[in-house]
Amino acid sequence: MTSDHSSYTVEMSSDELKTVDSQSQKEKDEPGGSNSSSSHRSISSNTWRANSIKEVGVIELGSKGATYGSRKGGSSSMSMSRREISDEDSRKVYINDPVKSNESFDFSGNSVRTSKYSVLTFLPRNLFEQFHRVAYVYFLIIAILNQLPQLAVFGRFASILPLSMVLLVTAIKDGYEDWRRHRSDGIENNRLASVLVNGTFEHKKWKDIQVGEIIKFSANETIPGDIVLLSTSDPTGVAYIQTINLDGESNLKTRYAKQETLRSNEVERISGVIKCEKPNRNIYGFLGTMEIDQKQVSLGPSNIVLRGCVLKNTSWAVGVVVYTGMETKVMLNNSGAQSKRSHLEDRMNREIIYLSFFLVALCSIVSILAGIWLRRHRDELDIMPFYRRKDYSGEDVDNYKYYGWGLEIFFTFLMSVIVFQIMIPIALYISMELVRLGQAYFMIRDDNMYEESTDSRFQCRALNVNEDLGQVKYVFSDKTGTLTENKMEFQYASIFGVDYNGEKTDFYGEQGGYYAKVDGLILRPKMAVQVDKELVRLVRTGDDVKIDKPIYDFFLALASCNTIVPILVDTSDPAEKLIDYQGESPDEQALVYAAAAYGFMLIERTSGHIVIDILGDRQKFNVLGMHEFDSERKRMSVILGCPDSTVKVFVKGADTTMFTVIDKSKNTDVVTATESHLHAYSSVGLRTLVMGMKGLSPHEFEQWRTSYEAATNALMGRARILKKVAMNLETNLSILGASGIEDKLQLGVPEAIESLRMANIKVWVLTGDKQETAISIGYSSKLLTSRMTQIIINNNSTESCRRSLEEALIVSRKATTSGENAKPLALIIDGTSLVYILDSELEKQLFELASKCAVVLCCRVAPLQKAGIVMLIKKRTNDLTLAIGDGANDVSMIQKADVGIGISGQEGRQAVMASDFAMAQFRFLVPLLLVHGHWNYQRMGYMILYNFYRNAVFVLVLFWYALYTAFTLSTAINEWNSVLYSVIYTSVPTIVVGILDKDLSRTSLLKYPQLYGSGQNQESYNGKLFWLTIADTVWQSVVAFFVPLLAYRKTDVDGSSIGDLWTLAVVFLVNLHLAMDVNTWNWIIHASIWGSCVATVICVIIIDVIPILPGYWAIFHLAGDGKFWVCLIAIIVASLVPRFVVKTLVQHYRPSDIQIAGEAEKLEEQIELRNAEIEMNQPQR
C-alpha cells in the first residue's frame, strides 16, 4: 500500500467537475489514530524560552515568513485537479459579503439532505424503485388482469394481497431507514456556529450559513462548510485538523492560513475576493486565488478546511465559507458503494426465464386444449349446465360471457397465467433478503473474526453478495497493512557506506531510553525503538567529542525531513510527558522515533521552524521551504536554515528516484556500498528509503525562492511549475545513507495463505513495494516456496515485454507437460511492464501465462493497475474475484472485484467505506470464505431450488385439475389457501433453514480446505440440479393430484373438500421434502417445519368455518373419513420414496466430498460417544 501512488481522471455528468483525483498526494500510510483527549496538547512555539534555544544567524525572510512547498503553495502535484482554473469553471466569493457573493451566483444553501424521500415523494418514488424488479411488474400485471370481469379467477382483493405485502414490507423498511436519515439531517442542520455579523461573532444555525460569511470555530469543533483559512490561534497560521468524518483517517493533518490574512485582531475588517474552482468531489485538491489588499495570492489544498473536519490542538481558527451544503466536498462524495449482484442471483434470473417459458407452455397447453374442447362441443354449449353459453333470464336471449372461439382461447391463456402465477416465486426475493440478513448476523457475531486488540468485529456493508463468498477463485491482496501490520519499526541504517545492522539493545543511556529535559519536564518518545550498540557508541559523545558529520546529518535528515507533528501526552508522573509523533505516514513516524532514540528528538514544529533536541542541546531550524512527497518524484525535500547560518536541503525518497538525483561522482564507493546494503535490506523484507542532502549558497537559495514564489502565484500551470521547481532543487545531492524499516507480517498470514491455496484459491499480491521486498514477504508468508519456478518480467518497452511473455509461455507449457514432477510457477511482474501490457494486445498473453501460475506477485503497481489486473481476470473468465486492501489506493481494486473486503487497519477507513465487507485481519479471510462462504452458498443455492420446487408443485396440481375440468380454470383449492401457501404455509421453514442449516461443521471445513471447491464447482446450484428438481416436481405433483382423484373418483365429494386435501397434502409434502434435506437439526428448525404444518391445518379449519367463503365445513366432512388419512399418507410416501432411493444410491455409489466429510463427522461423533460410554462404564477398583 505505502508505495502505491496514483492519480487519475473519471468522466462525470456535465454539471460536475471533469477530473477527479482518487488519491492523496502523500503516500497513503497513515497511522492508526490520534488521541484527541484533553491530555494531549501541541507543543506550541511559546513552550520554550527564546534564550534556551541555540540560534545563530538565521536567514530572515521578512514579512513573508516560511513558505511550505507543494502543499503550502496550493499545489499537491499529483493530488490536485489537473484542470487549470478559468472563468467558466470558477466561482467568485466576496469575503465577509455574503449578499454580494450570492446575488450573482446560484450558490447552494448550507442545509444538507441525505434522505431520499419526502412526505409527498415517498409513495411514488419508493414504488418506482421497487418496480425495477421485473418480477414485481409481472405480478402487478397479473393483479390488474384479475380485476377484469372476463378474467377474474380469484377474488380481487386476494389477487392483490401477495404483491401488496411484499411492497408494504419493503416500503416500511425503506421508510424507517429514511426517517432515521431525516432525523440525522435535522440534527446536523440545526447545529450552531459562530458567524461574523455586523462586526461581531454571533451564533447561527448551520443551515442558514451562506457563501462569503466568515466563521470562527474552536478546538474540537466540527467545521460547518468548506472554508478557506484566514487566521488561526497560532501566530504562523498553522491549524491541525482531523478528517475522520471525511475520509475515515484519524491522523492529524496540517492546514495553513496565508500570511497576508494573519490579522487576528482585525478579522472583521478583512475584505477581498476569492476566485476558486467550482464544487467538485476531489477532497485532496483545491485551486484558487485570493485578491486582498490589491495583491493576488494563490490558494491550494493546504489552505482549505472541509466540512466535517474537526479542529484539533489549535485554540481557534477563522475562515471564509466558499462551498456550502450539498456543494461541499463531503456531500458530493456522499454516494454509496458500487451496486453489485451475486453470481448466484444472476444464474437464478436465468432459471426464472426458463420457468417463465415453462409457465407459457402450461398456459398454452390449457388454452389450446380449451379451444379444441370448445370446437368439439360447440353444439352443446348453449345448454351445457356448467357452461351455458346462452342467457335465458331476459326476454332477449344473448350470449352469456362468451366472446367467440378466438377470444375465448385468448382469455383462457390470460386466466391460466393468473391461476399459475406463483410459478414465478415472488416470495423468493423477500426470502433471500431475510436469509442474507440472518447470515450477516452470524458472520458479525462470529468471535473467530473478532479482533480483541482493536475491538473490531466483522462488518457486512453489502448483503447482496453473501453467497459469492463461497465461490471465490481469485484473491487479489494488497501487501502493506493487509498482509503486514503497517506498524513500521526502524531496524537497520546504512550511513555513509557503513552498515549498522549489528546487536540491538532496548536502552540508550539511562533506563527507559533517551529523553530530553525541557523546563524541568522529562520528555520521552511514546514508542521505544531498539538501537544499534555500535551506532549508539558513535553517537554518544561527551563534551569534548564531536559526532561524525555524516552521522549527524543522517539523523538530522530523519528528524527534519517530514511533516510529523509532536504532541504531548500526559503520564501518571506530572514531571514526565510522552511525545506522540503524529503524521500521515507510518514510515515517517518510524524514522522520527528512530532519530529520537539516537538522541535527535523533534520537540516542536510550527509552520516556520522546528526545534530538535540534539543530545541535550536544543537547536532551532527555520523551515524555509518544503516540497512534499508526490507519486511522480517519489521523494520529499525540506530547506532548513541552520543555526550555523547555512542553508541545507535534505531529501529522502525511494531508491529508484533518489539515485537519479545523487551525484555519483562524489563518494562512488559510498554509493556502491549503499546500493549493496539496500539490496540486502530488501531481501529480508525491509522497506527502504534513501537520504541525501546538499548545501545552498545565498545565491542558490534566493534563486530557488524567487522561482518558488513565481510558481505559487502562477494562475495557469501552477502544479506543473511547482514540480519543476522541486526537481530543479533536488539535484546533485550528496548521499547520506539509507534506512531499513520492518513492516511485520500480521498474525496467521502464512497459515491463512496456505489454507487458501489448499482450497484451490489463487492468491495474487499487488503491491507498490520493491521487487526484492515483495519477494521476501512472499517467502515469509508462504506465498512463495522453494519448489516454485519464478518467472520474472521487468521490462520498459512493449517489444521487450512481448519477448519476455513469449519466453515465459514456453517455460509454462514445458512445466505443464512435465506431469506429476512439474514445479509450480510463480509470476513476478512490475508496474512498468504492466504499463505496456494492460489494455494492449499483450493482455491475452499475460492472462494465459498468469492462469498457469500458482502465484502472481505484482510489484511497483499503481492503484489503477490494481483495478486493471482484477478486470483482466473478470473479462476473460467466469471465476469470482475477491479484492482485499486497507487504504485509499486499494479502493479501485475493491470496487472492481466481485467481492471487496476492506481491512480496518492503520490507513484510515477509505477501503472499508468502499467495501462489501470489512474486517480487522487478513487471517479472518479463512473462516469467512471456507466456513461462512461455504455455508452461505450451500444454503442459498438449496433455498432457490427449493422455492422453485415448492411453487411449481402447487402450480402443477392446479394444472392437472384444469385438464379434468374442461379447461375452465375453476379451482378446487380455496383462493385464500392459494394466497397463504407462499406467505404462511411454506415460507418460514425455508428462511430458517437458509439461515441455520450446516451441511458440515466449522471444524471439518477448516480441517479440509479442499471442501471449498464445492462452491467453485457450483455443486449446490447448477443447471443439472435445476432440471432434476423440475423432474422431481412433476412426479410429486402427479402423485399429489391423482391419488385423491382416483380415491374419490366415484364418490360425491365436492371440489372444496378435495381442494382441502390437496392443500394439506402439498404443504405436508414440501415441508417433509425440506426436512429430508436438513443436515443439522435444532429446536428452531423443528419449530419452523412442524409449526408450519400445524399453522396450515389451523388456517384451513378457520377458512372452512367462515360461512361466506366456499367450502363451508368441508374439512370436517372430509377428515372424518379414513380414506382422507390414507390418501394423505400415500401421497407423502409415494412422492418422496423415489427421491429417497435416488439420494441414497447416489450417496452410496457416487458420493461427493461434502457427503464423505459429513459421514466422517458422524463416524467421529459415534467413536467419541462410544469411548465416553466405555470410560463411564469402567468398573471401580
Closest CA to 427 of 166, 168, 174: 166
For residues 523 and 47, is the Cβ–Cβ distance under 8 A?
Answer: no
| H helix runs in 684-770, sequence order | 698-712, 718-729, 749-758
Give the catalytic positions in this structure: 478
> Residue 205 to residues 195, 208, 306: CA-CA distances in angstroms?
9, 6, 18
- Letter for the amino acid at 494? S
DSSP 1049: T
Q: What are the helix and strand counts (H, E) for the chain?
A: 36, 40
Would you call 281 helix, strand, or coil by DSSP? coil
Q: Which three cell numbers stand for residue 514?
A: 533517551
Q: Which three cell numbers stand for residue 619?
A: 537547536
- Letter for the amino acid at 327? E
The b/e string for 545-571 (b: 16+ C-beta within 10 A; e otherwise) is: eebeebbbbbbbbbbbbbbbbbbbeee
Tell me the residue ranges of DSSP E strands in 328-483.
390-391, 398-399, 459-460, 472-477
**3-class SS string, 226-276:** EEEEEEECCCCCEEEEEEHHHHCEEEEEEEECCHHHCCHHHHHHCCCEEEE
Q: Which residues contact 718 (CB under 8 A, 6 or more apart)?
A: 73, 74, 75, 84, 287, 298, 300, 711, 712
Decide: residue 572, CB within 10 A, 0-12 exposed, 13-18 middle, 19+ buried.
exposed
Number of Cβ within 10 Å of residue 391's Cβ equals 13
Question: Residue 499 pairs with which residues in a beta bridge?
Answer: 494
Q: Which residues contact 19 (CB under 8 A, 6 or more apart)?
A: 9, 10, 81, 82, 83, 282
Decide: residue 1108, CB within 10 A, 0-12 exposed, 13-18 middle, 19+ buried.
exposed
Number of Cβ within 10 Å of residue 768's Cβ equals 30
Would you call 79 helix, strand, or coil by DSSP? coil
Angle, in degrees to the nearest 10, between helices 134-147 and 156-189: 130
For residues 274 and 93, is the Cβ–Cβ distance under 8 A?
Answer: yes
Sign of CA dihedral 970, 974, 975, 981: negative
Question: Residue 827 pairs with which residues in a beta bridge?
Answer: 791, 856
Number of Cβ within 10 Å of residue 346's Cβ equals 9
> Residue 375 to residues 57, 368, 389, 765, 966: CA-CA distances in angstroms?
115, 11, 13, 72, 12
For residues 402 and 389, is the Cβ–Cβ distance under 8 A?
Answer: yes
**Which helix (H) or strand (E) element contains residue 696?**
strand 686-696
Question: Residue 112 pairs with which residues in a beta bridge?
Answer: none
Question: Residue 900 pairs with which residues in a beta bridge?
Answer: 883
Question: Residue 222 pairs with which residues in a beta bridge?
Answer: 310
> 692: phi > 0 → left, psi -120 to 50 → alpha, else beta; which?
beta
